[in-house]
Amino acid sequence: EERLQYPAARRDESVVDDYHGVKVADPYRWLEDPDAEEVKEFVEKQVKLTDSVLKTCETKEKLHEKITKLIDHPRYDTPFKRGNSYFYFHNTGLQAQSVLFIQDDLDSEAEVLLDPNTLSDDGTVSLSSIAISEDATYLSYGLSSSGSDWVTIRVMKIQDKKVEPDTLSWVKFSGITWTHDGKGFFYSRYPAPQEGEKIDAGTETNSNLYHELYYHFLGTDQNEDVLCWRDQENPKHMFGSKVTDDGKYLIMTTEEGCDPVNKVYHCDLSSLPKGLEGFRGSKTLLPFVKLIDTFDAQYIAIANDETLFTFFTNKDAPKYKLVRVDLKEPSKWTDIVAEHEKDVLSTACVVNGNQLVVSYMSDVKHILQIRDLESGSLLHRLPVDIGSVGGVFARRKDTTFFFRFTSFLTPGVIHKCDLSSEAPEVTVFREISVHGFDRRAFQVTQVFYPSKDGTKIPMFIVAKKDIELDGSHPCLLYAYGGFSSSMTPFFSATRIVLSRHLGAVFCFANIRGGGEYGEEWHKAGALANKQNCFDDFIYGAEYLVSAGYTQPRKLCIEGSSNGGILIGACINQRPDLFGCALAHVGVMDMLRFHKFTIGHAWTSEFGCSDKEEEFHWLIKYSPLHNVKRPWEQKMDRFVQYPSTMLLTADHDDRVVPLHTFKLLATMQYELSLRLENSPQTNPIIARIEVKAGHGAGRPTQKMIDEAADRYAFMAKMVDSSWID
């Protein structure tokens, strides 16, 4: 087939860095400036090239239509109580953003409280967080534009839905937590940009440093807010806040990266002589007591009775446990729910006065239990199918709570659990049905295949029932592998369409780096062990081929963000194993990622090229630095890179687009431009979205458009035919 004409991108051979004596060229360094005319031209040419390729992907329109139809079903999230009202999010199907509803009772008329779709004409303003005051008088909410991490906090009076003038800017990576007097709330922010420092809400690449914790008094200007905490000596530190259920304590957590470890400071708000008012206009920080002042474990406060606190922790418990401490005797800790020998404690939430709702992850499936808060002893097991439980928003004073259940073949069920009688009563509160989807046509299998070092890796395989294991099927293999983030079953309308109309098998490999088996599993795929993630994924692909599900030229691999590294590294290491590769918002320059926006927080997972030993970990797998021509390697047969689509967006300030731009230019040059008649005929392209970010808050239409594009590309490249 004809070879693509790639746009030539300038190579500045003069840019060579010295990492601990090792010279590393970075000829596309100029692509790191999103505002440079030359970069805008680069993007324009790449968009044109990609559009020309997408025009030849004939399943695009049909995929778009089928995905739109299947996504167009009403979706609800779990209801939660504040004051005497219930709140829940709902999407009728194709709304750009879900809408927040309020109702007095579960079966009374619900009305719209906040509809983010009215905040922009193209649905690109999204709700990033909400917090309702204790008596449900006020709703404070964070708005983000074009998918950026930057948030503007607003406040609405619930009773008349009037939006107050309060507007808080420069908010990022922030919770919102009200004091129970309803006078205001704690939130986190970054300092306003210095003179001349360009911050334009999501397209800048400046590093986010010197996080601060503030308290905002309702009805005042942001510049009157009380600075509660900051740490000038530790620019990477980030501060979270939570007011306890009894309204008495402010619990502040400090993180310095993405590892599940944090400090815990507490402040007894009732002991402040003049309350928080006493701090207005002063630079004095709040008087915190340091309960935990190291980063050797994670501690999340889940309940307290006066000074007796219950914490969710991984201290000496990589599969997590619940512990208790009296603030008056901070060195005496006792186990309440001991670490399970196999299952990972995932969530714990106090409910019904003195009970706990806890969920465990057992071989990547959730178990739900009710336990006694005081002793931790098991009271009830709640019946849930094989799948994922989420959205448990319980309050100590509620006897009822709701939870969401989903799985690969269950679009989403909201269950209600009533604990008012002796035995819990679990009922279906809302069932999300997807018309035209018949789960009986599909089957889900969980396999445990051995990786390179023999470690058993779980993988979910979803396929139409009774397929022939003759290697003929297109297959989509997805993984993430990092940040102790676990990938449990979830419903994807898009993948159902791929299965039904392209005959695709879709798979999810729970590779190391995730949290599926606790912190050991996470650490086994991080820092010096990152290659385990790639081995796990490669062996998963080999398993799918040897078991007859698919064959290399029909196998498409896909990953996002940290999962984008996975894709970049795997096509570098095994270009022969895949027919297609889709890498979303990947971190592709592992030597420089820590210099941009929040990248510095990821050194806990990847290490940092500033350190010699860690540089040698990173240079070995960094996608940008390991693009090699397979036909020049000692590959045992003629090999080229799979057809590759890199995806990014102009307002992605989590993983800045420069990673994708630099890898794209490098692959197009090394594999094609630098040779006459290169053997690389598989396309290497990028899909660059505008007015979009890392993914959170992306409007439905943009998600459908992107899915249709990338899977039409996949369909063409693995040469799968449409099934009506």
Ligand X SMILES: O=C(NCC(=O)N1CCC[C@H]1C(=O)O)OCc1ccccc1
Binding map of ligand X across residues 552-591, x = CB under 6 A, - = no contact = ---------xx------------------------x----
Minimum CB–partner distance for residue 110 and ligand X (Å): 33
Minimum CB–partner distance for residue 238 and ligand X (Å): 5
Residue type, 188: S
Cα distance between residue 571 and residue 538, in whole Å: 10
Give the residue with the Cβ less far from ligand X, 241 or 562: 562
Minimum CB–partner distance for residue 606 and ligand X (Å): 8
Minimum CB–partner distance for residue 658 and ligand X (Å): 14
The pairing of strands 365-372 and 378-382 is antiparallel
Considering only 292, 487, 655, 667, the residue that binds ligand X (CB under 6 A) is 655
462: tokens are 């979803």
Contact between 651 and ligand X by CB under 6 A: the answer reads no
Give the residue with the Cβ less far from ligand X, 143 or 565: 565
C-alpha distances in angstroms, 392 versus 358, 400, 421, 455, 562? 10, 11, 20, 33, 27
Give the residue with the Cβ less far from ligand X, 59 or 597: 597
C-alpha distances in angstroms, 80 versus 158, 383, 395, 598? 15, 21, 9, 32
Minimum CB–partner distance for residue 650 and ligand X (Å): 17
Q: Is 694 a known active-site residue?
A: yes
Report the residue closest to ligand X, judged by CB. Answer: 561
688: tokens are 């660059």
Q: Is 340 a known active-site residue?
A: no
**Strand order, beta sheet including 378-382:** 344-351, 355-362, 365-372, 378-382
Catalytic residue among 536, 600, 694, 709: 694
Catalytic residue among 128, 561, 609, 622: 561
Q: Compute the 3-state secondary structure of the chain and give helix, strand, coil in percent, each to the nearest 5.
A: 25, 35, 45
Considering only 139, 228, 258, 509, the residue that binds ligand X (CB under 6 A) is 258
Alpha-carbon torsion, ordered 207, 34, 647, 98, to 10 deg: 70
Minimum CB–partner distance for residue 517 and ligand X (Å): 19
Size of site (CB under 6 A) for ligand X? 13
Contact of 208 with 599, CB cutoff 8 Å: no
Contact between 311 and ligand X by CB under 6 A: the answer reads no
Minimum CB–partner distance for residue 149 and ligand X (Å): 7
Cα distance between residue 128 and residue 113, in whole Å: 16
Give the residue with the Cβ less far from ligand X, 489 or 693: 693
Binding map of ligand X across residues 354-383, x = CB under 6 A, - = no contact = ------------------------------
Give the residue with the Cβ less far from ligand X, 376 or 564: 564
Cα distance between residue 678 and residue 671, in whole Å: 7
Residues 6+ apart with CB under 8 A from 605: 257, 258, 259, 482, 483, 513, 526, 527, 562
252: tokens are 């502040």
Region from 242-250, 355-363, 377-385, 595-603 binding ligand X, contact rule CB under 6 A: 595-603
Contact between 171 and ligand X by CB under 6 A: the answer reads no
Cα distance between residue 284 and residue 504, in whole Å: 61
Considering only 317, 351, 358, 598, the residue that binds ligand X (CB under 6 A) is 598
Contact between 333 and ligand X by CB under 6 A: the answer reads no
Considering only 601, 671, 712, 717, the residue that binds ligand X (CB under 6 A) is 601
Cα distance between residue 658 and residue 577, in whole Å: 27
Minimum CB–partner distance for residue 532 and ligand X (Å): 17
Give the residue with the Cβ less far from ligand X, 391 or 599: 599
Contact between 295 and ligand X by CB under 6 A: the answer reads no
Contact between 658 and ligand X by CB under 6 A: the answer reads no
Contact between 660 and ligand X by CB under 6 A: the answer reads no
Contact between 650 and ligand X by CB under 6 A: the answer reads no
- The phi, psi pair for 546, rounded to 5°, reads -70, -30
Contact between 508 and ligand X by CB under 6 A: the answer reads no
Considering only 77, 166, 245, 255, the residue that binds ligand X (CB under 6 A) is 255
Q: Is 237 a known active-site residue?
A: no
Contact between 288 and ligand X by CB under 6 A: the answer reads no
Minimum CB–partner distance for residue 647 and ligand X (Å): 13
Region from 95-103, 113-121, 352-360, 598-606 binding ligand X, contact rule CB under 6 A: 598-606
Minimum CB–partner distance for residue 175 and ligand X (Å): 10
C-alpha distances in angstroms, 426 versus 65, 78, 217, 403, 414? 37, 14, 41, 10, 10
Cα distance between residue 663 and residue 650, in whole Å: 16
Considering only 173, 295, 437, 442, the residue that binds ligand X (CB under 6 A) is 173
Minimum CB–partner distance for residue 599 and ligand X (Å): 8
C-alpha distances in angstroms, 91 versus 74, 407, 413, 432? 6, 19, 14, 11
368 bridge partner residues = 359, 382
Residue ranges in 221-250 that form contacts with ligand X under rule CB under 6 A = 238
Contact between 71 and ligand X by CB under 6 A: the answer reads no
Region from 42-50, 351-359, 407-415, 596-604 binding ligand X, contact rule CB under 6 A: 596-604
Centroid of chain to Cα 40: 28
Residues 6+ apart with CB under 8 A from 625: 24, 589, 590, 591, 619
Cα distance between residue 692 and residue 652, in whole Å: 7
Give the residue with the Cβ less far from ligand X, 507 or 598: 598
Residues 6+ apart with CB under 8 A from 273: none
DSSP characters over 353-412: TTEEEEEEEETTEEEEEEEETTT--EEEEE---SSEEE-----TT-SEEEEEEEETTEEE
Give the residue with the Cβ less far from ligand X, 606 or 669: 606
Q: In terms of DSSP H, where are the helices of 177-219?
A: none
Just list the catalytic residues.
561, 652, 694
Binding footprint of ligand X on the chain (CB under 6 A)? 173, 238, 255, 258, 483, 561-562, 587, 598, 601-602, 654-655
